[in-house]
Structure 1
Amino acid sequence: MNISSRASAYLRAYDEQLRGRPMPGRTAERIGPVLRVVSDGHGQGFVTYRDLGGLEGVELDAFIAGQRDFFTEIGRPVEWKYHDYDLPVDLPDRLVAAGFEPEERETVMVGETAGLAAAPAPPKGVRLREVAGRSDLERIREMEETVWEADRSWLPDLLERDIAGPGDRCAVVLAEAGERVVCAAWMRFHQGTDFVSLWGGSTLKEWRGKGIYRSMVAYRAGLAVERGFRLVQVDASDDSRPILSRLGLEAIATTTPYMWVPPTV
């Protein structure tokens, strides 16, 4: 990916401040060059890092197999988050050879919170606000289950825990039309860095294309500005990338989750 000088500066900040950072609400252990993360309760694990410290060849194969076998023993799926500039260049092939399967590629995008906060307000009749308690989280669960046609019973507990901390705090924002939740998204304030990161952004089908997603980005950017955070980072889907680009975010890399699911899961 060819990127601008500004995007290159964003990439350096992203590498130095966010990659390999511990995840709140999860147990993390440093294993060689990586941080091996196990979710508290149920859920998948993660392998995250800034770089692999020069691991390659048969040593890298053995290391990948060790992480796969660890999560197999505890019966958890695991995501190895690969960035397109990671070394060695044959890392994706080695992950696949070890049984990991690539999922949909996303684009890492970064921008200035101050500029994003000036994005359009929500459409008439739609109100944005932070959640006020458990009942709001249950309403978000219902909306998410409608959007994805899948069970999201775990979501209120996860968001409630992440809002409370410890670690990088989470803020959850919903969009309401009357009494109905039509969109929800969340963000993390990465303490000690310049960054917040944006997550979620599910919208009911009949409410898409009305500017709600853009206004949710702006609302969360405003919260970041209030708390003194300068940069916002998003792992953007192909659907979200054009919207975020128009709002001023820069593409700095692509990232692909490589998943291992133990045979018994």
Structure 2
Amino acid sequence: MDPNDLLKVRAEFDSVMRREALPDTSDARVERAGAVVRQIVPGSGGNMVLWSDLDEHTADAVIAEQVAYFTELAARGEVPSAEFEWKLYGHDRPADLGDRLRAAGFVAEPAETLLVGRVTDLATLSVEPPEGITLRVVTDEEGVDLMMEAHRHAFGADRPRIKDLMLNLLRDEPDTIEAVVAMAGDTPVSAARMEMRPGSPFAGLWGGGTVPEWRGHGIYRLLVAHRARVAADRGIRYLQVDATEDSRPILERLGFDVLGVTVPWVWEG
């Protein structure tokens, strides 16, 4: 995309996915509280500030308000802990918002690159599974367990919140999730999901980690192509990814463009 198109897509992303965000699951809620939009997820957590409209005069007070708010929710037992994430994008204001979050006690997780790709371009990708690999679409708890096994070996950690998210979506909103596992025989070696909100022009790609011995065989590309074709069938216009430095080069070769950089700042309570 040319630079002007990218700016328009970024503005649409900010509007649809942040300012007017829908809850991730049926038990979550999105609140618009003055200068911020935040999501509250009871049970497994995942609380987050999705968007803010701040300046150098208001930022510190609003940061303190959010800390107090989530601390109070935890004290009342509405969420398991006061921990929450402030999802900061490089074009958010004020320009020193990250420094202000750090000064307030937030801890930065590794930066990721926000990438976007046009579905009409990506859905034409012709990718054959590597020899010995088949794809299994996740539709039940057994499939979710295979996903978690692939993630555990790919990322080196269990992801209980992702498991809860998947089970909730498959039970309550199956049309909003497309998850797939790459299988080598009976062994899951990679897994990924796509989250789709009703009426949104954007779908988010998540996961995609591959176990070490199967990296470099094109499985990540295969999972992207599969989800792009599903998105095309649903009439979705864009795929969005918060990419690590491992996946960014692959996605750019597939036709994704950079919209910016995002850093998760976490208040640990």
TM over 0.5: yes
Q: Alpha carbons of 1:91 and 1:166: their partners in 2 closer, same or farther (altered >3 Å)?
A: same
Count of aligned pairs between the two proteins:
257
> Gaps (5+ residues) in structure 2?
75-80
Task: Find the aligned partners of 2:155 and 2:55 in 1 and give their Cα distance.
Answer: 39
RMSD of aligned alpha carbons: 1.9
Q: Which of 89, 97, 105 is matched with 1:91 structurally? A: 97
Task: Find the aligned partners of 2:134 and 2:262 in 1 and give their Cα distance.
Answer: 33
Query: 1:166 Cα deviation (Å)?
Result: 4.3
Task: Read off the aligned partner of 1:132 and give its amino acid letter.
Answer: T
Query: 1:168 Cα deviation (Å)?
Result: 7.6
Question: Could you say what secondary structure the match of 1:76 adopts?
Answer: coil
Query: 1:154 Cα deviation (Å)?
Result: 4.4
Task: Find the aligned partners of 1:87 and 1:146 in 2 and give their Cα distance.
Answer: 38
Task: Find the aligned partners of 2:149 and 2:44 in 1 and give their Cα distance.
Answer: 20
Q: Which of 218, 225, 235 is matched with 1:211 structurally? A: 218
> Gaps (5+ residues) in structure 1?
none
Task: Find the aligned partners of 1:93 and 1:157 in 2 and give their Cα distance.
Answer: 33
Q: Percent identity?
A: 39
**Any residues of structure 2 matched to 1:1-265 within 5 Å, and which?**
4-20=3-19, 21-25=21-25, 26-49=28-51, 51-52=52-53, 54-57=54-57, 59-73=58-72, 74=74, 75-119=81-125, 120-166=127-173, 169-262=176-269
The two structures have a TM-score, normalised by structure 1, of: 0.90
Question: Could you say what secondary structure the match of 2:32 adopts?
Answer: strand
The two structures have a TM-score, normalised by structure 2, of: 0.89
Conservation of the 8 A alpha-carbon contact between 2:45 and 2:161: no
Query: 1:10 Cα deviation (Å)?
Result: 2.1
Offset from partner CA, 1:183-230 (integer Å, 9 cap, x none): 100011122221111011121110111000001000000000111112
Question: Could you say what secondary structure the match of 1:19 adopts?
Answer: helix
